[in-house]
């Protein structure tokens, strides 16, 4: 279906599907499309490095490090980077303001203040437009304007990879379609942050139901929810649309 191959490997997540790998609550992912290789978030500890080695993924060949937002569980390892050569690092200005002084490695810093093209077909979305009336505008009283996503735009379809969806997934999908001038989302891989049991940041029934309604309406071919989602919501979604929960060790190709 695609002219070029896409490979997405989950280096670490809060679930694991192989006893030889380690897991933690946070997340890191390896993305390869055509000749571009991306490390999407860096985790808190070195566990994702051990897992990558066991998965036969050479992170030294990464071209670009991309950070989804400033939270330490997505940027912490950069303080202890062991790349053999300099890499590009792309992030929102707030991310650099929060963590750059702690980063020891000499990266080629790309402080994006607008949508940035990592390659001809890969977009860093920068600040996500907030257009829905049912998704929350803040996360723990923080607007999280630095929260963003990566989009692979093929000739006909979009592949959207969103961490941590603090700007919320419907906003992200609609903005990706606007930026890339395409209306068909083929794959969606994302952290939910839809929680019924959370003590601090519960999702409303309206947000949950309207999010599922949106995903049904879009008729997305493959949906991969991950992390920060209750079993109740996963079950509800699974009853209404096709989903597959990805975990540490999973690799998807298309």
How do residues 106-150 score in pLDDT, each as one tens digit?
678 888 889 999 999 999 999 999 999 988 766 667 677 778 899
> Does residue 1 fall inside a structural domain?
no
Percent of the chain with pLDDT over 90: 29
* HEC string for the chain: CCCCCEEEEEEECCCECCCCCCCCCCCEEEEEECCEEEEECCCCCCHHHHHHHHCCCCHHHCCEEECCCCCHHHHHHHHHCCCCCCCEEEECHHHHHHHHHHCCCCCEEEECCCCEECCCCEEECCCCCCCCCCCCCCECCECCCCCEEEEEECCCCEEEEEECCCCCHHHHHHHHHHHHCCCCEEEEEEECCECCCCCCCCCCHHHHHHHHHHHHHHCCCEEEEECCECHHHHHHHHHHCCCCCCCECCEEEC
How do residues 19-64 score in pLDDT, each as one tens digit?
666 656 667 889 999 889 999 877 667 778 888 888 899 999 999 9
Q: What pLDDT is attached to residue 2?
A: 45
> Does residue 70 fall inside a structural domain?
yes
Q: What pLDDT is attached to residue 199?
A: 47
> Does residue 15 fall inside a structural domain?
yes
> Does residue 118 fall inside a structural domain?
yes
> Does residue 140 fall inside a structural domain?
yes
Give the global pTM. Answer: 0.86
CATH number at residue 193: 3.60.15.10
Domain interval for residue 87:
6-253
Domain total in the chain? 1
Q: What pLDDT is attached to residue 216?
A: 94
> Does residue 162 fall inside a structural domain?
yes
Percent of the chain with pLDDT over 70: 77
């Amino acid at each position: 279906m695609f002219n070029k191959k896409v490979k997405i490997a989950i280096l670490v997540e809060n679930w694991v599907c192989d006893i030889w790998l380690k897991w933690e609550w946070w997340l890191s992912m390896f993305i390869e499309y055509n000749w571009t290789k991306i490390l999407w978030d860096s985790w808190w500890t070195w566990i994702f490095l051990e897992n990558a080695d066991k998965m036969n993924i050479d992170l030294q060949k990464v071209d670009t490090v991309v950070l989804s937002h400033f939270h330490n569980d997505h940027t912490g390892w950069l303080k202890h980077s062991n790349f053999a050569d300099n890499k590009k690092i792309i992030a929102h200005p707030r991310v650099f303001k929060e963590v750059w002084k702690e980063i020891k490695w000499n990266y080629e810093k790309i402080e994006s203040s607008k949508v940035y093209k990592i390659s001809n077909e890969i977009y860093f979305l920068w600040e996500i437009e907030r257009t829905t009336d049912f998704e929350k505008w803040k996360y723990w009283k923080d607007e999280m304007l630095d929260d963003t996503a990566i989009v692979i735009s093929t000739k006909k379809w979009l592949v959207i990879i969103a961490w941590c969806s603090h700007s919320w997934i419907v906003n992200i999908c609609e903005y990706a379609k606007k930026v890339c001038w395409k209306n068909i989302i083929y794959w969606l891989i994302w952290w939910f942050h839809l929680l019924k049991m959370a003590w601090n940041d519960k999702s409303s029934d309206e947000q949950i139901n309207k999010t599922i309604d949106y995903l049904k309406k879009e008729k997305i071919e493959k949906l991969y929810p991950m992390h920060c989602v209750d079993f109740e919501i996963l079950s509800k979604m699974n009853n209404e649309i096709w989903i597959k929960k990805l975990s540490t060790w999973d690799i998807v190709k298309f």
